[in-house]
Amino acid sequence: MFNEDNFEKKISMKFIQTLNRHLPIKRKTLKELLGEDRPNVKSLGGSTHSFDKKELERIASMIPEWEYDKLRLPIYLEMCSSMERGTIKVSGRVECMVVSRVLYDDEELKKKEIKDSMIFYYPYLRKVRKELPTTTQFMFTM
């Protein structure tokens, strides 16, 4: 028997999978990427995503060295259909630390508690993508 809700859900999931083909099969840590001559990851779609070495070094200057093996790159900028329109979610404590250092000055940062996830609004996206063009990627979810 045909189930319209199930059919729509399957179509939506397939669409999201197609949108996310640029995402890596497996993310790498900052420590791993800094050790590579040509830092890159393979995507679900079969292409190679390369990281800018200077951008990796800039991120390395933002966090303590003992966090290098905890930061997984690229940082996902999650856009979810179930969240408020115009919001972007970042998950992972070290990932949030990096994005917070890009978004806020030192005084504002002192007032913020770094958590395991953060949400910021679309107007701030330009700053994040301008500062971290190769180390951030959009991820679409439902």
132 Cβ partners below 8 Å, 6+ apart? 55, 59, 75, 98, 99, 102
Q: 128 and 136 in contact (C-beta within 8 Å)?
A: yes
Tens of pLDDT along 77-130? Answer: 999 878 888 899 999 999 999 999 999 987 877 777 889 999 999 899 999 999
**H helices present in the chain, as ranges:** 4-19, 30-34, 53-62, 93-103, 106-111, 122-131
Domains of the chain: total: 1
Q: Is residue 38's pLDDT more than 80? A: yes
Q: Which domain holds residue 47?
A: 4-141
